[in-house]
Amino acid sequence: MITAYRVGEKELEEFTLTLGELTDEERQIILDGCLINYNRVS
């Protein structure tokens, strides 16, 4: 779960994001920052 914030006119609204089920490779792509970084390292 990831805590995110929506910026409103006068306040921040907190909400939670989920990524659902991911493969090990998909998790690594996210940890590397993006697919380009993943391909550069792999």
User: Exposed (0-12), middle (13-18) or buried (19+): which is 13, by Cβ within 10 Å?
Assistant: exposed
| Structure confidence at residue 8 (pLDDT) | 92
Q: What is the pLDDT along the chain (42 residues), one digit of tens a residue?
A: 889 999 999 999 999 998 889 899 998 888 888 888 888 865
Dihedral angle computed from the Cα positions of residues 26, 29, 30 and 33, in that order, rounded to the nearest 10 degrees: -170
Total-model pTM:
0.50
Q: Which distant-in-sequence residues (6+ apart) come within 8 Å of 14 by Cβ?
A: 3, 4, 5
C-alpha distances out from residue 31 to 9, 11, 14, 26, Å: 32, 30, 23, 9
| Structure confidence at residue 3 (pLDDT) | 93
